[in-house]
Amino acid sequence: MTTPLRLGIAGLGTVGVGIVRIVQKHGALLATRAGRPVEIVAVSARSKTKDRGVDLSQYAWEDDPVTLAKRDDIDVFIEVMGGHEGPAKHATEAAIAAGKDIVSANKALLAIHGQALAVAAEDAGRVIRFEAAVAGGIPVVKSLTEGLAGNEITRVMGVMNGSCNYILTRMEDAGLSYEAVFDEANQLGFLEADPELDVGGIDAGHKLALLSSIAFGTQVDFDGVELEGIGSVTIEDIHQAADMGYKIKLLGVAQMTGRGLEQRMSPCLVPDTSPLGQLQGGTNMVVLEGDAVSQIVLRGPGAGEGPTASAIMADVMDIARGMRVSTFGQPAKTLRKARPARAAVPAPYYLRMQLLDKPGALAKVAHALGEAGISIDRMRQYGHQDTSAPVLIVTHKTTRTALEEALVDFKDTGVVSGDPVAIRIEAV
């Protein structure tokens, strides 16, 4: 009889339970497709008595995930606990030392400790697979490491946090403020226990750092990701962007430039007719560009029990079939340390500011832009108030450095009230 692949699952939250459901429901199908049985042997979680809606009685129970990781009767350690330190890190390290293959949904752990873990696993002849850590059910890791392995990747771009996309599209559809939709999303359970992980771009930044490593053959560098959340986006920005044919998205972009590796996660304007512009709700989308394939677009659910468990099982099935792929698409010791680079590729920008009702106000702003070498493509004024008026400017392509120079000069004009909002317009 063919030897079964034996699984140990650490974490029985939404995703862990989803894995159990798939194995219990599709056991025969998995065995047929893998050429061998795939079985759960043992599990671990904080509470043994909690009713999770699945039968766990046939599996061994371990209170400590590290003990689970060391069991002689498991081949694959599945880590779906979360957290970049503590039990998740210790158990993963223990599993590698015990000669287990790893399947993980833990983006934070891999974004921060991925290089060291990959080296340790590969030295031990083991693999770490993490399809579920990036964009839920979308097979983007497999696309980069396998499907596009013959390409030089030129750019990775995408909407990688469904909660932020829900907030931005809900604001537009319902005409609600950011604060109102944030509270709604929180009450619906769409946000992490620490919402800043979502709305601050941190969660999506972890994912971008992982994709950058695969795409450009570099060591994972989460610290090199420029992060800006969606908290400053107003309903006025969304309406005015729509008026000009754009949508606002929390967009991750990574590309290798002459100055180094550019990685940024920030609100951007994208054309409303583009695939990214048409993305609604909690859906994710990743755009991959390569020299041979040109551009491919991957779209699908970015989170949830089914999609994330599906991605976990895709990795499990590869291991069951004997497929051994380096963690980041090439041996970890060959990954080079990239020089972080700020956004140097020129792009148009959307500027929103409150101008005081003073003679020559627009001329002073235009002069400050001109002094920084920035030309104006379009300018609009909305809803004149008693003493000021909101003014919208779309620039021609410029660098972030030039734009920041102009923003500093705005303060000296005496006609700009408060801090202007600047959002990059991304070509897609």
| Residue positions annotated with a catalytic role | 207
- How many other CB atoms are there within 10 angstroms of residue 85's CB atom? 11
Neighbours of 164 (CB within 10 A): 28
Name the maximum alpha-carbon separation found in the chain.
87
* Phi, psi for residue 260 in degrees, rounded to 5: 135, -165
Q: Which of 92, 78, 69, 88 is nearest to 39 (CA)?
A: 78
Helices within 124-161 (DSSP H only): 140-142
**DSSP alpha helix (H) spans, 47-123:** 65-70, 86-97, 107-123
User: What SS3 class is residue 252?
Assistant: strand
Is the Cβ–Cβ distance between 226 and 343 less than 8 Å? yes
Angle at 428 between CA 130 and CA 266, to 5 degrees: 60
Residues sharing a CB contact under 8 Å with residue 344, sequence separation 6 or more, in sequence order: 257, 258, 259, 262, 399, 400, 401
* Residue type, position 154, single letter: T
Nearest-angstrom CA–CA distance, 39 and 58: 11
DSSP state of 231: T
Tokens of 188: 């619906």
Q: How many angstroms separate the CA atoms of 235 and 233, rounded?
A: 7
Round to whole Å and give the CA distance between 322 and 326. Answer: 13
Angle at 306 between CA 300 and CA 308, to 5 degrees: 70
Helix (H, G, I), strand (E, B) or coil at 253: strand
Phi, psi of 426 (to 5 degrees): -95, 135
What is the C-alpha to C-alpha distance for residues 309 and 305, in angstroms, rounded to an integer?
6
Tokens of 422: 């600047």
Nearest 5°: the CA angle 414, 418, 420 is 100
- The 10 Å Cβ neighbour count of residue 180 is 15
Q: How far is CA 215 from CA 195, 210, 235, 256, 344, in A?
A: 29, 9, 35, 9, 19
